[in-house]
Structure 1
Amino acid sequence: MKKIIVAFDGLRFSESVRDYAIELANQSNAHLVGVFLDDFMHHSYKIQNLITENKNYHAKQKELETKDVATRKEAVKNFEIACQEAGLQYNVHHDRNVAIQELLRESIYADLLMIDNTETLTAYTEKIPSEFIGDLLSRTKCPVLMVPHHFKPIDKIVLLYNGDPSSVYAIKMFSYILSSLKEHPTEVVSVKGENESSHLPNNALMKEFMKRHFPEVSYTILKGSAETEIRNYLKRTGNYSLVILGAYGRGMISNWLRPSMADMIMKELQIPLFIAHAK
């Protein structure tokens, strides 16, 4: 039985990541762990919220902290009820120290980590991906499934491949961890230069490998700029797709499988994104 951990900010509970996690845990017969990042430095309020005409600073802070406690309890209850109704095996972890450190520690002991791609773990709105997400993706110890803030059922798998070992590693990890999704139409997508051949990099070896893991896979070769072509392709076909991508790391260079590709998919396309990179 695989272990899937799903990260939540109890102050801004994501029903979308809850729904994706429950669906995939059910399909994969996995044990689901709700990791509630109750970072002692994280509050729903901002400093200016503590300044009022009628109450002193400490009284207002106590009032807002009491409200935060109630909000976090309600989020846990929401998750637990959903798991019980789905008949899942599940646990709840409350991580009260620094959120990024706690989640990285949790990732060591998980097969897959799921998180909302809009997560910030702050009281402020940030652009996608947030600093928290960027830090997580570059340091995680297990594959990560980033999901959009609105749930959509998955009906197609897109495997991005450029010949780099990291792209093959991500495909392997997806095949091992979420094998139940192989029933969906699956496509390997690669991008070549205008003057390059239309064959996959390491064509024979890749197709031999894919035949063992995805017997019904199809192949698409795009020509041009990788980021532009992938963006346009996914906009045409990707509303309900799950995309598999290798190599996300600060300072990591891996042809076109680099942070900007993942960032573009999260920001512009809002579809699930499975990221795994070998350390």
Structure 2
Amino acid sequence: MKKILLAFDGTHFSNGAFQFARELNELEPALVTGAFLPQAQAANLWSYADGMSGPMFVPLVEERNTEVMKENMTKFETLCRRNGMEYRVHEDLYDFALPELKAETRFADVLVIGSEVFYENLGGKLNEYLQDILHRSECPVVVVPEKYNFPKTNILCYDGSESSVYAIKQFAYLFPELTKQPTLLVYIHEDGKNEFPQQVNIEELVSRHFSDLTLMKLDMSPEKYFSTWINNRESALVVSGAFGRSAISQLIRKSLVKDVIAEHKLPVFIAHR
């Protein structure tokens, strides 16, 4: 049984994130923990946490937002009971010390967040605190759009870096029930570098976990074309080591993590050390 942490901007309930957790629970029963952050807290989540060594508190949201947040908590509980899901809810939200959400990721198998609600206040841009969540979370993160098809295929983004291999392994360990699906191991190469890095080694590893595996090389500019190519693939889940250090990892980071998530079409699994 896994522990799935669902983080909501308290005034916006992400149906996409909840449905993803529900479908994972159908594949294998899980404990689903809902964390409902008041909007002011969500917007300053990591910046406040990093600047304070001890407990700290942020201003309360308006009364109306508080009521909406409580309604969303009730909705979460009702949906969990209706779907036979074991669940927990963060209590004492008004005294909730922000660093505890980051700590919560240390004790969760995976964090699931809805991508679109985290964009709502910033005109559709991948905002700073969502980037910080992806970077600072101590467990893998799945970023889910509101409308999507539950994945029937996997796209593993590989660039030869430690980060990309780590993400692939974490995905396989966490979701063995998804590894039976058709899977593409995709390598995007720089001009003049046409061979898979460590092809024998990566194929030996990945083929042990993914029974229907295809290796693919894409000769394209990641910055210009990768998100377009990947978003045209239906019912897929993208696996990425978001913070690798190689040149290609930086390009994938810019294009995939920002552009693919911003398109709100495919779930993206992100893991880094």
Give me the identity figure in percent. Answer: 31
Q: How far apart, in 2, do the equivalents of 1:217 and 1:225 lie? A: 24
Match in the other structure for 1:68: 65
Q: How far apart, in 2, do the equivalents of 1:154 and 1:276 lie? A: 18
TM-score, normalising length: structure 1: 0.82
Q: How far apart, in 1, do the equivalents of 2:64 and 2:264 lie? A: 35
Query: Over aligned residue pairs, what C-alpha RMSD do you find?
Result: 2.5
1:113 match: secondary structure: strand
The structure-2 alpha-carbon separation of the partners of 1:138 and 1:218, relative to structure 1 and needing over 3 Å to count, comes to same
Contact 2:11-2:65 at 8 Å conserved across structures: yes
Equivalent residue runs for 1:33-72 within 5 Å: 33-38=33-38, 65-72=62-69
Of 188, 205, 212, the residue aligned with 2:208 is 212
> What one-letter code is carried by the residue in structure 2 that aligns with 1:265?
V
Q: How far apart, in 2, do the equivalents of 1:96 and 1:195 lie? A: 56
Q: How far apart, in 1, do the equivalents of 2:247 and 2:216 lie? A: 18
1:87 shift after superposition = 1.0
Match in the other structure for 2:248: 256
Match in the other structure for 1:130: 127
Question: Is structure 2 residue 80 aligned with structure 1 residue 83?
Answer: yes
Contact 1:160-1:190 at 8 Å conserved across structures: yes
Q: 1:90-111: per-residue Cα shift (whole Å, max 9, x none)?
A: 1111444678633212111111
Aligned residues: 253
1:160 match: secondary structure: strand
Q: How far apart, in 1, do the equivalents of 2:20 and 2:29 lie? A: 14
Of 177, 182, 185, the residue aligned with 2:174 is 177
1:242 match: secondary structure: strand
Question: Is structure 2 residue 228 aligned with structure 1 residue 236?
Answer: no
Q: 1:201-252: per-residue Cα shift (whole Å, max 9, x none)?
A: 1011111101211122111111132333422321332x3211000033xxx6
Q: How far apart, in 2, do the equivalents of 1:235 and 1:65 lie? A: 38
1:39 shift after superposition = 6.1
Contact 1:118-1:128 at 8 Å conserved across structures: no
> What one-letter code is carried by the residue in structure 2 that aligns with 1:173?
Q
Match in the other structure for 2:269: 274
> What one-letter code is carried by the residue in structure 2 that aligns with 1:75?
N
Match in the other structure for 1:221: 217
Higher-Rg structure is 1
Question: Is structure 2 residue 144 aligned with structure 1 residue 147?
Answer: yes
Q: How far apart, in 2, do the equivalents of 1:42 and 1:211 lie? A: 40
> What one-letter code is carried by the residue in structure 2 that aligns with 1:268?
E
Contact 1:234-1:269 at 8 Å conserved across structures: no
Match in the other structure for 1:114: 112
Gaps of 5+ in 1: 44-61
The structure-2 alpha-carbon separation of the partners of 1:150 and 1:142, relative to structure 1 and needing over 3 Å to count, comes to same
1:42 shift after superposition = 6.9
Match in the other structure for 1:190: 187
1:41 shift after superposition = 5.3
Gaps of 5+ in 2: 44-59
